[in-house]
Structure 1
Amino acid sequence: MTESVRDAATVILVRDPAGRPSVLMGQRGNGAVFMPSKFVFPGGAVDPGDAHVPMARPLNGLCAARLKAGPEAPAPATLAATAIRELWEETGQVLGSPRQWRRTPPDGWAGFAGTGHLPSPQPLRFVFRAITPPGRPRRFDARFFLADAAHLATDPDDFSAASDELAHLAWVPIAEARELDLPFITAVVLAEVAARLPALDPPESVPFFRNDDEQSLFLRLGGARP
């Protein structure tokens, strides 16, 4: 029986990328079905409402082109919306521009809309993609986005609006983050990001760990920039 794989998006926020860079992370609960007790970046699965969210500014064009992965894949804007919504839900941080919504927000977006912002994916950079290997309790096709925390519309140290999904939310220096109890793929992504800093522009190509029932492949998406 083929396991269901859900589309997902994750945000890697970097603070002070040219100085002493740190990343925003939290710890999943020890009773969580997926990756219990692990330290992770904010992220989660695509919700239906994510496809119907107005954007203040569009996603970077090169990143959008690389996110297109077949007729059944979510639209690039949908994946970017998921990343922004999950960041808001799990940390209380807003990646958006001050603007009022002209229509009722879709399911899952009322809280974000209540902050008086429209989501703005323009700072996001698509830097990694990975599919959870077979045999796990849940499987995700996760797209990882990188962004400078300077683009946040909120106080980066204020987590008062966060849900309780992630505990111990903190800006962790990258060197110290490597010592945490990380999922394998989180450690790989962290190493990729650390090797590129202070650069936050789209990479020459996007690493893709594709795990399916037959084999695990390490691919590159998008090739060189035009």
Structure 2
Amino acid sequence: MRPAATVILLRDGAGGPEVFLQHRVAQMDFAAGMTVFPGGGVDRRDADASIAWQGPPPEEWAAHFDCDPALARALACAAVRETFEESGVLLAGEASGAVVGDTGRFREARRALVSRQLSLAEFLTGTGLVLRADLLRPWAHWLTPRGESRRYDTRFFLAALPEGQCADGETTEAVGSGWQQPADALADARAGRTTVLPPTWVALAELAELGSVADALAAERSIRRITPRLIRDDRGLRVDIDGQEFTL
């Protein structure tokens, strides 16, 4: 089972907090056509211990996500890398402590990261930046249901959109993307206008209960590993999460 990292990006909108969602292309090997948060599998180079780091140490993340510190570090690095690759949002900063603003000057480096011509460690070293683990919050831990051909062990992080940055849809993995209030995203899923995986559904429902980005960042989370159970019968495809069923 491949470890993976997903980042729930938030910003405050006129009607409350908004979340950044992407609509994956139909040709993807995993979650094809689904509405998702940015994220992906951990690359072996995400475990590079030379990656400049600022914020809670890997040991703290390991305690949140019930894993060893080396994996916890790789997960946080994958979260930052994937978010930058898929949305252009960079959770990094200067050694002095200032968070990166406009990321347009890193456009070529972003393409090189996507093509794997450049590693996260090489990118940060070349730009003099450090990974800002303090901009992330632990949110959830989900496993792909048993019986699926491709399974992921995914940790979910939460992050606020840094000031001066913009999230975009410049990725070949999505046909569209944008900001939406969690309640509206859930309404689209219930109406069949979009399709979301169980972890996305649950996260949106949790975020819909919060009044601001600050509330979300301050929320006390008790992370436990969740493995949904898929049910296929004459009623269609459903998923069971701790005894509660959802229709997909």
Same fold (TM over 0.5): yes
Q: TM-score range by the shorter chain?
A: 0.7 to 0.9
Paired position in structure 1 for 2:27: 31
- Could you tell me how far apart the structure 2 residues matched to 1:132 and 1:18 are? 35
Query: Does the CA-based 8 Å contact 1:88-1:94 persist in structure 2?
Result: yes
Specify which of 23, 37, 52 is matched with residue 55 of structure 1. Answer: 52
State how 1:37-116 maps to structure 2 within 5 Å: 37-52=33-48, 53-59=50-56, 63-69=61-67, 74-99=70-95, 108-109=119-120, 110=122
Query: Does the CA-based 8 Å contact 1:63-1:125 persist in structure 2?
Result: no
Q: Per the alignment, do residues 130 and 21 of structure 1 end up closer, same or farther by CA in structure 2, a change over 3 Å counting?
A: same
- Could you tell me how far apart the structure 2 residues matched to 1:139 and 1:88 are? 23
- Could you tell me how far apart the structure 1 residues matched to 2:207 and 2:201 are? 10
Query: Does the CA-based 8 Å contact 1:129-1:143 persist in structure 2?
Result: yes
Specify which of 142, 153, 166 is matched with residue 156 of structure 1. Answer: 166
* Bigger Rg, structure 1 or 2: 2
**Superposed displacement of residue 59, structure 1:** 2.9
State how 1:114-193 maps to structure 2 within 5 Å: 117-149=129-161, 152=162, 155-157=165-167, 159=168, 162-178=170-186, 179=188, 180-193=194-207
The SS at the match of 1:119 is: strand
Letter matched to residue 172 of structure 1 = Q
- The alignment's TM-score, normalised by the length of structure 1, stands at 0.76
1:181-206 C-alpha deviation (Å, 9 max, x unpaired): 21122101221233344321252412
Stretches of structure 1 that go unaligned for 5 or more consecutive residues are 219-226
Paired position in structure 1 for 2:104: none
Percent identity among equivalent residues?
Answer: 31
Query: Does the CA-based 8 Å contact 1:59-1:124 persist in structure 2?
Result: no
Q: Per the alignment, do residues 217 and 187 of structure 1 end up closer, same or farther by CA in structure 2, a change over 3 Å counting?
A: closer
- Could you tell me how far apart the structure 2 residues matched to 1:111 and 1:163 are? 19
- Could you tell me how far apart the structure 2 residues matched to 1:153 and 1:108 are? 25
RMSD of the alignment, in Å? 3.1
Letter matched to residue 63 of structure 2 = A
- Higher helix fraction: Structure 1 or Structure 2? 2
- The alignment's TM-score, normalised by the length of structure 2, stands at 0.69
**Superposed displacement of residue 74, structure 1:** 4.7
1:137-193 C-alpha deviation (Å, 9 max, x unpaired): 3100000001111xx265224x37x43112312111222211132112210122123
- Could you tell me how far apart the structure 1 residues matched to 2:130 and 2:171 are? 20
- Could you tell me how far apart the structure 1 residues matched to 2:45 and 2:24 are? 24
Q: Per the alignment, do residues 170 and 80 of structure 1 end up closer, same or farther by CA in structure 2, a change over 3 Å counting?
A: same
- Could you tell me how far apart the structure 2 residues matched to 1:187 and 1:21 are? 16
- How many residues get paired? 201
- Could you tell me how far apart the structure 2 residues matched to 1:187 and 1:36 are? 16
Letter matched to residue 22 of structure 2 = G
Specify which of 185, 203, 210 is matched with residue 220 of structure 2. Answer: 203
Query: Does the CA-based 8 Å contact 2:28-2:173 persist in structure 1?
Result: no
